[in-house]
Amino acid sequence: MKHLLSISDLDRAEIEDLLTLAAEFSSVLERDIPKVPTLRGRTIATVFFEASTRTRLSFERAAKALSADVMSFAPGTSSVTKGESLKDTVLTLEATGADLFVVRHESVGAAARVAGWVNGPVINGGDGAHQHPTQALLDALTLRQRFGKLDGLKVGIVGDIANSRVARSNIDAFTKLGAQVELIAPSPLLPVDLSAFPVTVSGSLEDSLPHLDVVYLLRVQIERGSGPILPSLAEYGLRFGMNRQRLQMLPADAVVMHPGPINRGVEITADVADDPRSLVLDQVQNGVSTRMAVIFRLLGAS
């Protein structure tokens, strides 16, 4: 593995290797000194053209737990706001000593583009509505911890699939690990052509709930670059939001997930978010160990 740009770059064995390594790092993070000296002297650059404090902090925590140094680059704190290009930014960071790049950008293919410009490995930290592979890996790890394996699990992904990089990477990762994925959304929020996706589709959350092991709720935003995509968030919440009553329609051992940040009351009500069947905090914790595993695999060999 030279870069991690898309789940499509990984086969099942490679995904499972990363999950196993991530599980080992999870136990490191539970020690008194949650740190290994593995990457001392190496430098991780986080290049976040699109703001995301949560994801950036998760990567930086992962880097520091591996004893790597961190260079953090984000609009508002750098010349990016003055119009410096993505290319100039990453070339400057590489010249300054960055060994690995974590790239988050609103444009599809941004991380892949960076991989063509720099010598070091690149991790896609989210590119437009395309891919967010470390999210998919941490979600897979969370499910593996809960269920032992993903084979045969029925996962419903609910919400704005069309504009979601989380959905695209999770569909690929979950199905590669043997799960069945159902997309649950009103049709304007589904990709126009699903022929390349190994999924089933449902227009009704309530119809789907009784046969799901996992309800994965995506963050929904009313505005996307080119204008409104929903009549209103309130209407969406009524049809596709997860509430106490719908939680009871799930099988007893089913779980609820969300990549965060949550619009409480829209995708998920407060009591559901805080229910024992919600894995939201496990997801956050697994974010750090999963990113440690990815960084380690990309830099550890050399």
Residue located via tokens 């609009």: 75
CB atoms within 10 A of CB 269: 20
Nearest distance from C-beta of residue 225 to another protein, angstroms: 5
Question: Active-site residue 211, yes or no?
Answer: no
Known catalytic membership, residue 54: yes
The footprint of another protein on this chain (CB under 8 A) covers a number of residues equal to: 31
* Annotation says 105 is catalytic: no
- Does an H or E element contain 59, and which? helix 53-65
Select 226 or 302, whichever has its Cβ closest to another protein: 226
Q: Candidates 32-40, 68-76, 85-93, 236-244 — which segment interacts with another protein by CB under 8 A?
A: 85-93
E strand intervals along the chain: 43-48, 69-73, 100-105, 122-127, 154-158, 180-184, 199-202, 214-217, 223-224, 227-228, 255-257
Of 187, 195, 248, 302, the residue at the interface with another protein (CB under 8 A) is 195
**Please, what is the Cα angle at 255 between 198 and 268, to 5 degrees?**
95
Whether 77 is a known active-site residue: answer no
In the Cβ-directed half-sphere of 138, how many Cα atoms lie within 13 Å? 31
Among the residue ranges 19-27, 51-59, 102-110, 276-284, the one whose residues contact another protein (CB under 8 A): 102-110
In this structure, are residues 144 and 153 in contact, taking their beta carbons and an 8 Å threshold?
A: no
Confirm or reject binding of residue 186 to another protein (CB under 8 A).
Answer: no
- Nearer to another protein by Cβ, of 164 and 285: the residue is 164
DSSP annotation of 263: -
Question: To the nearest whole angstrom, how small is the minimum distance from the Cβ of residue 141 to another protein?
Answer: 23
Biggest alpha carbon–alpha carbon distance for the chain = 56
User: Interacting stretch for another protein, rule CB under 8 A, among 71-79, 99-107, 198-206, 275-283?
Assistant: 99-107
Quote the CA–CA distance of 194 and 185 in Å, as a whole number. Answer: 13
- Residue 227 as a binder of another protein (CB under 8 A): the answer is yes
The answer to whether 127 touches 204, Cβ cutoff 8 Å, is no
- Phi-psi group of 159: left, alpha or beta (phi > 0 → left; psi -120 to 50 → alpha; rest → beta): left
- The correct pick among 23, 71, 108, 233 for binding another protein (CB under 8 A) is 108
Q: Is 86 in the site for another protein (CB under 8 A)?
A: yes
176 is catalytic: no
Residues 2, 12, 35, 54: which is the catalytic one?
A: 54
Selected catalytic residue, list 43, 55, 89, 175: 55
- The footprint of another protein (CB under 8 A) covers 85-87, 105-110, 112-113, 127-131, 162-165, 168, 191-197, 225-227
